Amino acid sequence: MKYFFLSDGWTVGRVWELGGLWNESAWRRKPDISQINLCVWEKEEKLWLYRVEDAVLMVEVKPTDPAQLDATTQAIGQVVLKRLITADQAIERLCAAQAQTKA
């Protein structure tokens, strides 16, 4: 499994696998992407942990409602490609966030 963090108000768009964009006809299903009930707070932003299957290489994320984004975010762009992380990297980030809240 692979993981990524996604902010409230953002959703998964297109998904890439080794051959390019995920093809539901070829795979005969949608990619396995699920939100885990764990989050971290970073710069007053809640980031939820998501799990994806190993076949997924990269995901596109986009705002659920572009009108709610601030001017800075809109200037940068409304679609971001997320690099996936390993389980160990996800655990390290969760532990680091917990240590910061205790400090």
Low-confidence spans in the chain with pLDDT less than 70:
66-78, 103
pLDDT at position 71, please? 54
**C-alpha to C-alpha distance for 45 and 66, rounded to whole angstroms:** 17
Report how far residue 17's alpha carbon sits from residue 85's, in angstroms, rounded to the nearest whole number.
15
What is the Cβ-side half-sphere exposure of residue 83, based on CA atoms within 13 angstroms? 3
pLDDT number for residue 66: 66
pTM, 2 dp: 0.83
The confidence score (pLDDT) of residue 64 equals 84
Query: What's residue 62's pLDDT?
Result: 87
